[in-house]
Chains A and B, each alone.
Chain A
Amino acid sequence: MNGLLVLPVVIPLITATLALLFRKSSAMQRWIGVAGMAVLLVSVAMLFRDVYGDGIQVLQLGTWEAPFGITLVADMLSMLMLGISAVMGLIIAIYSIYDIDKQREQFGYYPLLHILLMGVNGSFLTGDIFNLYVWFEVMLIASFILLALGNSRNQLQGALKYVIINLFSSLIFLFGVALLYGMTGTLNMADLALRLPEVENVGLVTTVAMIFLVSFGIKAAIFPLFFWLPASYHTPPVAISAIFGGLLTKVGVYALIRVFTLLFTQDVGYTHTILIWVAGFTMVTGVLGAASHYEFRKILSFHIVSQIGYMIMGLAFNTALGLMGAIFYVLHNILAKTNLFLISGIAQRLMGTFELKQMGGLYRHYPFLAALFLISAFALAGFPPLSGFWAKLTLVKAGLSLGEYVITAVAILVGLLTLFSMTKIWMTAFWAAVPEKGVPDHFGKMPLFGAGNLYIMVVPVMIVAGLIILVGLFAQPLLEICLTAAEQLLDPSVYIEAVMGPQ
């Protein structure tokens, strides 16, 4: 029993409550928002120390023994995801101070942001499949409102697509849960892992696995279920785009990793072959979509799709090296992708648009911003010595050691195409001459630091860029932690014993 386990869920709830009570004052809300994220980060760090030192930590909520009550479980994978989500939460909370307008603050932006984090953290921690559904819904309802807040034509269109497809995917998920319950009579994931191998009708288990693949696939935006993502992620303010692009799809990936390592390992030959195909198509379609667009955030949205493919590829390999690569890729991708979104926001503040064809001259007037963009873009494309290089290297090595040459070749090719899109942004927004018309008056005069308070947006970007470099230069310790996480995933008996007690 470890009481700390409940904190990543309770702290955002307390913060949201406080922010609701003080909703009249924007200043108070901002302070509460940032302070809540900071406390969350500290609590996650304390929990991380326990998991790192003593292995998997478990808490039976309400003292109801597993498998009857709801169990919270923190293994290494959960901890890494929690850690990165807490860091991103803090970064976004700081960035929002400047980016989010007063009206959105009055309509509950900060409470919703923390409820969103609560849902994300709950999904990472829970050891109960129905509870996972509940956390998904918590996360979804907060994201629905964040996406629609503002009611502009664009946002409503994006929100409608997002809401309907996600409602549908939740219902499929619930149907899958119902089938699992009907087959085994339990909802605790560790207990399910014990009982699923005893189910005689293996075909039915595989069917349920596919239902979960479709449902989580919609949330993770894999091929061919990704179309809602590029249609909606570019509509809300940048801080919201960034937290969606960074975290939400990765919760889907986390759920896929969890169920396909813990529950559905009966017919690996069938399920994981499908995963490999899905991974390949996701990578290729995402990157091709990005190549055909000229809106900053639409390009980034398509790249989210493409990068999800890499993570699914690592999962599909189902080896320690592959899973390690997938987990490391998730961490790296959250850093790089969120940072690119945040940079797009700064660029929009300076140029007044997200359309690349109307941008230019950022390198000439803001070389520091250009450097920050290059770090994140090169990390995304996988340049040494940045974080993306190690992520891709591990995945490629895993692919080659398994003899999966085709998918590995696709992965490398997609890396090149990613570079092409990043170069496109660089060439137009940063390197091209300043467009003659349509440029706001403050362009070139507004400094990144000092007057205009733009530094509130730049400092978080600098911190994330620093983290990207740090992860790249000192990759070994993090890779080792990822390997521990992967080994825990491949040997579910430790997880099961931690939850259910010695068998």
Chain B
Amino acid sequence: MSRVVSFVRQPIVVALVLIVLLLYLGEALSPGFATGGQILRLLIVASLLGIVAAGQNVVILGGREGIDLSVGGVVSLSAIIAGNVMNGADGGILPAVAACLAAGAFFGLLNGLGVTLLRIPPLVMTLGMLGVLQGLLVVIRMGIPSGQAAPALSRFVTQPLAYGIPGIIWLWIVIGILLALMLNRTVFGHRIYAIGSNEHAAYMAGVPVKLVRIALFMTSGMFAATAGLCLLGYSGTSFANVGEQYMLPSIIAVVFGGTSLAGGKGGYTGTMAGAVLLVILQSILTTINIEESGRQMVFGATLLLLMMFYGRGRAMRA
């Protein structure tokens, strides 16, 4: 009995149940909401969010109030870099991928160095970095939309690749498997959990705490850059601050998936379910004609509500 209760109370189970409920709700509000094609379209959007949340997830797992608020800026920057490097030609895809990942890693490195060497709290460091990136975007674009997605990239994101499923969803699944393996079956993964659970004990057991933390921020930057690249493929061209909408949802998806904001507890599988859940919620809000501002309010309130529930759960267990 208690096993059943603890199974049902697992965040991922809660998220999956909510996903089914929300699909029914969407179908009731607007018939055709939960058809196969529509669900695939939702999953494409969810995979973009999910890839950003992957980086957010590892940073949060690393503890010491780890959080990456700069992901939105990196997504936008990466979309612009990709658009300009490939400029509509398939041959430009590989250089674009390299350039995006390098940019993501670079800004992640700056975040990591600021947090470890200068001891700036992650919240402040990455918020500052977001400001820098937003300014940078204004400077390099000078307000004019620029860059075109290569046709192959657009096909990869929007058209079925195998078994009727678009490439980006396959990419997301591969990322999900790789992250699960990394967290559970590699020394690096165990070290992430160790520094997130008890940083001092990890240090005394020879874990290179600073290097691991820098690597986490770089990982986050690279995932955000990957998402920016795919986002370009999804929308065809890059426009102002496309990435901004990812900051808050990427954090909510992680928390929804059962990862503790205190670090050291959780995993990526739940986060994937959280990302799907958020995208469906967003879609329902759009269906019933709620403006972007209204959606932001709902998201913010969702995060606070989650924190209340999880906070209470922890207090009850203690």
Partners in one complex: no
Q: Which A residues fall within an 8 A CB radius of B? A: none
Q: Which B residues fall within an 8 A CB radius of A? A: none
